[in-house]
């Protein structure tokens, strides 16, 4: 479906996310001719100087993103600057005036800290700005625990129905994540063996090399569990594990996702010591450069975790007995995100132990970034007429060589999905709340049983305890250099 004419209002337009992701994504869509002629982007800022300053900053960002110069001006022409204080109802008059009485689809993107979600929604309603097709887009994190997420969801529900509420998790907009559903449900080969019958275990890694960046205030209060696990990692796990929805449609997909989240075995109380690992980076080296430890970057000591590993189990018919290991952190050795599926070994080796070769299990690597693609590890005979030699080799399908098309950024897809009214790649409130229900007891357990994160050197793969977590089960983390 084509994108209908729209007015997109961005709260927090001068913030990091808007500048880094939202404006470049919109400019890219504009360049492709996807945005209807009369559509507008209304950038909400709080300070007078931003009214002049922000368009210049956006122009610089677009330039950095490689948007051609002759495309920047036409994009900026869509921009309307609006000065408003999110907490002051009387200032919403400016927004009401800028929106006028157009029939265009109105979307309100709340790219702000979550404590502003409720006041913004209330003030939008008070100012009588919402139309019958208006929708609101909520950026993560959606609250900081189940109670605050519920309060936000309730407040939003008072002004808009669930069908017009879009909760973003940008991982769902990534090509490789969408491809996970295609891989599973458009190929007979995998789905038949996608269960405890054939799968030994699963690893989900999201490793970053960046540290605190400019987000100390937010990140130190949240920690890595809330910043990455509650949303991105749990979404990956869920899509990996869902039952086949009867069609690719928001309701059907979301129903299946919720079932998986509900089946996740709780980790409560002292169990956090057995099944989770918290870490915080110390000084170290990234790409040959010395970098500071977390506390030094922050300027004071802190018990906030920058690394989390968890051994999860999904207690349902399909997955009973298959551990899913999650691992994610800042300042790790490489930027590398992947789902690695290890199949069970063959039941009996006809090759005996004669050659002394170990038969490795088949492994499927779904690589999100970098080098996105899919690799399948098979055992192969080394050519030669001497002794039989068997080694693992990879079937390697990379996006960059398999397709000519450019891989769009996640936000390009998600922003136009909102305007088109497609909720498939957004989270239902029940999903978000269910994810918090699983995460909250772990964070509470940490306070009681695991208050101090383990230290790891920046540029490593996290604390040694994370290696212990998987090795205790006789398994090991996949080697990112294998792929």
Residues that bind ligand BG6 (CB under 6 A): 140, 208, 227
HSE on the CB side for 112, CA within 13 Å?
24
| CB of 200 or CB of 409, closer to ligand BG6 | 409
Enter the tokens of residue 254. 């979301």
| CB of 223 or CB of 445, closer to ligand BG6 | 223
Distance of closest approach, residue 43 Cβ to ligand BG6, in angstroms: 21
Enter the tokens of residue 3. 């994108």
CA distance 253 to 336: 27
Distance of closest approach, residue 399 Cβ to ligand BG6, in angstroms: 15
Pairing state of beta strands 390-398 and 373-381?
A: antiparallel
| CB of 140 or CB of 429, closer to ligand BG6 | 140
| CB of 245 or CB of 329, closer to ligand BG6 | 329
E strand segments, 70-217 = 79-83, 105-110, 135-138, 165-167, 199-207
Element (H, E) at 400: helix 399-402
| Token pair 């998986």: residue | 260
Three-state DSSP state, 117 = helix
Enter the tokens of residue 336. 């590398």
Three-state DSSP state, 133 = coil
Distance of closest approach, residue 278 Cβ to ligand BG6, in angstroms: 16
Distance of closest approach, residue 140 Cβ to ligand BG6, in angstroms: 6
Distance of closest approach, residue 139 Cβ to ligand BG6, in angstroms: 9
Strand partners, 69: none
| CB of 212 or CB of 242, closer to ligand BG6 | 212
Which residues are annotated as catalytic? 232
Distance of closest approach, residue 163 Cβ to ligand BG6, in angstroms: 25
| CB of 22 or CB of 84, closer to ligand BG6 | 22
Residue 471 contacts residue 359 (beta carbons within 8 Å): no
| Token pair 């122009």: residue | 59
Residue 241 contacts residue 196 (beta carbons within 8 Å): no
E strand segments, 210-286 = 276-286
């Amino acid at each position: 479906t084509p994108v209908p004419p729209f007015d997109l209002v961005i709260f927090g337009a001068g913030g990091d996310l808007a500048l880094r992701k939202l404006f470049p994504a919109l400019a890219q869509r504009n360049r492709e001719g996807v945005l209807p002629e009369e559509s507008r982007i209304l950038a909400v800022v709080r300070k007078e100087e931003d009214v002049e300053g922000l368009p210049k900053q956006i122009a610089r960002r677009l330039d950095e993103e490689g948007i051609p110069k002759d495309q920047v001006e036409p994009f900026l022409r869509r921009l309307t600057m609006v000065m408003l204080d999110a907490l002051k109802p009387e200032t919403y008059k400016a927004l009401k005036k800028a929106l006028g009485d157009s029939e265009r689809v109105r979307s309100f993107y709340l790219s702000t800290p979550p404590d502003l979600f409720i006041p913004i929604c209330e003030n939008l309603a008070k100012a009588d700005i919402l139309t019958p097709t208006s929708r609101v887009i909520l950026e993560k994190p959606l609250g900081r625990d189940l109670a605050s997420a519920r309060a936000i969801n309730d407040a939003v529900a008072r002004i808009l129905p669930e069908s017009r509420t879009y909760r973003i998790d940008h991982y769902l907009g990534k090509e490789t994540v969408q491809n996970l559903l295609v891989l599973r449900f458009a190929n007979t080969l995998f789905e038949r063996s996608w269960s405890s019958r054939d799968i030994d275990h699963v690893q989900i890694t999201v490793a970053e090399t960046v540290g605190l960046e400019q987000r100390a205030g937010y990140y130190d209060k949240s920690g890595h569990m809330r910043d990455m696990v509650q949303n991105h990692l749990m979404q990956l796990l869920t899509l990996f594990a869902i039952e086949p929805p009867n069609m690719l449609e928001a309701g059907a997909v979301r129903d299946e996702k919720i079932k998986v989240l509900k089946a996740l075995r709780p980790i409560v109380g002292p169990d956090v010591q057995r099944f989770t690992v918290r870490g915080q980076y110390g000084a170290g080296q990234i790409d040959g450069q010395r970098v500071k430890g977390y506390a030094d970057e922050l300027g004071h000591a802190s018990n906030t975790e920058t690394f989390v590993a968890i051994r999860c189990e999904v207690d349902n018919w399909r997955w009973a007995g298959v551990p899913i290991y999650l691992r994610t952190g800042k300042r790790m050795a490489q930027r590398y995100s992947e789902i690695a599926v290890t199949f069970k070994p063959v039941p009996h080796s006809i090759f005996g132990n004669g050659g002394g070769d170990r038969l490795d299990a088949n492994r499927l690597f779904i690589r999100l970034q970098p080098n996105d693609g899919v690799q399948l590890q098979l055992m192969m005979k080394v050519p030669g007429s001497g002794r039989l030699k068997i080694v693992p080799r990879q079937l390697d399908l990379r996006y960059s060589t398999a397709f000519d098309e450019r891989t769009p950024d996640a936000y390009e897809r998600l922003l136009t999905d909102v305007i088109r009214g497609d909720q498939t790649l957004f989270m239902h409130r029940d999903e978000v709340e269910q994810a918090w229900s699983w995460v909250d007891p772990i964070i509470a357990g940490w306070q009681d049983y695991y208050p101090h994160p383990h230290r790891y050197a920046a540029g490593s793969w996290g604390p040694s305890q994370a290696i212990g977590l998987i090795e205790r089960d006789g398994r090991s983390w996949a080697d990112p250099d294998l792929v």
